[in-house]
Structure 1
Amino acid sequence: MNIYNQNKLHKRLRRQVGEAIADFNMIENGDRIMVCLSGGKDSYTLLDILINLKISAPIEFDLVAVNLDQKQPGFPEHVLPQYLSSLGIEYKIVAENTYGIVKEKIPEGKTTCSLCSRLRRGILYRTATEIGATKIALGHHRDDILETLFLNMFYGGKMKAMPPKLMNDTGEHIVIRPLAYCKEKDIAKYAEFKQFPIIPCNLCGSQPNLQRKVIKDMLNEWDKKFPGRIETMFRATQNITLSHLCDNNLFDFKGIQKGGEIIDGGDLAFDKESMPLNNYNNNYNNSDISSENMILWKEV
């Protein structure tokens, strides 16, 4: 990748992260953001872009990079401390032998990701409290969000994905995903030209999540055959019409009466109106963030 394309990619990722932060009011003045760093391409890119945005952001906030060393055999313990020290930012390495717990509980050859994820999440929440973090930033991107949507539909019977911002199950922490608008293939290219010291994610020897792989392969195939489909599907997660789904808990279908108000255009199965492909941000309804700050975030 030449310098021109590198700069273009950097600006695109930077803009998309800024837009996501503004659209969901992810970062506020005085925040202390705990950036969870796994050693993979996504979390390296997240940290890199946030460091870059911090320089010109319209507000003041701090970053703390946190890595959980799960004591997996062969884990290169020196890589992240060396890298983070070279950046000159605050960081913390948390050492917990979750690998030993998982190996004890899960039979050999079975997927360990679910238990490992729960253990890791609990430790990260505890660490966020210890260091006084006001937000926890994770490196999930647009493709992760769509994959989770289809996983829940196909295997769980739910319309549910990864939200860009949410409260954790105890109500103590706010989790944000600033890469929510970023494509995985862009992140992969960015990580390659930045030459991040990637740590492989298969050190634990766990079997891959085959269901997620099926979904990922399906979306990749669609992306090749039908350019723009992935963008349209992601935009659909931001354009929900509850009156045209089937959840009685979210919409009062029983209350619909003849002669009453026509809701959301009536019996239209498909909206034929054209919509711009790259407009992820049609609705700015968050009253907690000013229009001025939203514009500034999108321009940093």
Structure 2
Amino acid sequence: MSSLEQFMVFKEVAEVGNITQASKRLHISQPSVSIQIQNLEHEYGAPLFYRTNRGVTLTDPGNILYEKVILILHTAQQAKETIRNYSANRTGYIHIGATLTIGEYLLPHMMSITQRDHSLLRYNVQVANTQVIVNEVLNNYLNISFVEGVAPEEDDLEVEQFWSDELVLIVSADHPWRDRGEITFDELISERFITRENGSGTREVLKRALQQGGFDVDELNIAIELGSTQAIKEAVLSGLGVTIISALTVQEECRQGRMRMLRLKDCQLERPLNIVTNRKVMLTPEEQWFLEEVRCEETLRALLPKPILPGQPLERIAG
């Protein structure tokens, strides 16, 4: 009997608490079950069960082994499913989760990797807020996710930064600051400010960055709070105020000359863009290949449109 089969026997006995009942459920003889348990105890050098007339219960070493066996069997099952689903032509789906900015403005370019080398690959993408995406990873509904900012700390999560996102000051093309490269905080607090709602990731990053620069977010003249990046951009374009949002989200408007991008003086506004996976989950060959490409800065930079930079002249943008 293989080690995996021994572990399956051990798991069944531990969960049923009775060797006879376990043997019936496994469709093997009771003596065979007893022998496999004894072999495991001999191999690990410790008693794994307390034996009584009413059945068996795990010892402390048995509990330790049980936790590891659950993980081993789960991994083995995933490996089996991965191999069964593996296709030489790589025609399967890659299931991806992404938070809003990445999902709407970055991920479509990242997926264009497929067209270069593996045109038969297909994607299934879920775009939601950080908490939803992380929960999907923890519950094994998603194997890969891309999250803006700091990911929640969970033992099962593997978090790896693959890119960074600059938050920039955005004004309309007819704003008095349009030709400025940077603005001081004192100037900023004199202007009507448009921001995401309390609890949003972008607003939290802004708050932390301002604090690190010695500034107080409460000094901002917050005139409007909106629940989406698109709504904020429309409000800025309508002349209702200025904002600080991801540079990724305003590239097209800046190329068209409808918005201008500036920096806040003496304050570095950046947030990490992270790959989040589950340490207990084995990725499919397709998923592993995709992540290897995304991790390559040279590959990713080649896929993304040349970014507009804060303070870049309009004639340079148009060219």
Q: Establish whether TM, by shorter chain, passes 0.5.
A: no
Please indicate the TM-score interval, normalised by the length of the shorter structure.
under 0.3
Greater relative CO (CA pairs within 8 A, separation 6+): 1
Larger radius of gyration: 2
